[in-house]
Amino acid sequence: MQSANPLFYKSIVPVDSQRHRSVRMFRPLRPLAYAREANLIPALVDEFDLAMADIAIAFLPGAEGPSAVFVTGAAPGTNVYVTDSGLWNGAYVPAYLRRYPFIIGDVTETNSVLCIDETYAGLGETEGERFFSDTGVQEAALSSALVLAQSYRDTAARTEVFCAMLSDFGLLQTATLDTTNPDGSKTVVHGLLIVDEMALAALPADKLHALHQAGYLRAIYAQIASLRAVSKLSSPVRVKRRSGGKATD
């Protein structure tokens, strides 16, 4: 396991039939309170088409390459999709949130195991669905969590390939979200990347074919279309694209 925990995860441990024999999982009073201040949430390439009408999608630059994210707030510490009651008020719930508190962890180079964040507020021993039976047999709730976590991990790997291709093909450009709040104040999200439509239009046929063969063209157009959803962060919202050192609307 990596020393730095992923977003939201605080105490990750392998799910164990002895340690977690009596553990049950239930829906907390404020189920998504942990995401209340997250203005960027990891996104999977297979989600783009499903979420594009509801949540703006962008990319974050990183040392190992860009990563896909949902933009859920106009400034760090804000998330307009999670209410004060800890509920989701959007039409699409990101898979990253649906997977939590579970995650697949590597114990060796070749083996992996289902893990859980033990600080999750929905864990207890008196209510909810059990992880294991009295004899240590895995229950349905844990089986479903394992399937979702494995599916997430597989699609996350595909998403990394997608982001790498966009970067390698020169299809990403920096963008800034400028938001005017109802009180007239402004907030700005710097450092995001989006698909450069001009670069896409000028892409050589062989690279365009490679994207088509990989099944990524639909996701590219979904990301572009998703930028209309920035209006949900505040009103009005402008997306500024930076090209050649100049910002254009």
pLDDT tens for each residue of 36-91: 999 999 999 999 999 999 999 999 999 999 999 999 998 889 999 999 999 999 99
Residue 5 lies in a domain: no
Residue 249 lies in a domain: no
Q: What is the pLDDT of residue 1?
A: 41
221-231 mean pLDDT:
93
CA angle 96, 97, 101 (to 5 degrees): 95
φ, ψ for residue 102, nearest 5 deg = -90, 160
Query: How would you label 69-106 residue by residue, b for 16+ Cβ within 10 Å and e otherwise?
Result: bbbbbbeeebbbbbeeebebebeeebbbbebbbbbbbe
Which residues form the domain of 122? 12-241
Residue 229 lies in a domain: yes
What whole-number distance in Å separates Cα of residue 10 and Cα of residue 27?
A: 19
Residue 3 lies in a domain: no
Residue 246 lies in a domain: no
Residue 247 lies in a domain: no
Q: Tell whether the model's pLDDT for residue 245 goes beyond 80.
A: no
Beta bridge partners, 192, equal 175
Number of domains in the chain: 1
Q: What is the pLDDT of residue 188?
A: 73
191-201 mean pLDDT:
96
Q: What is the pLDDT of residue 246?
A: 44
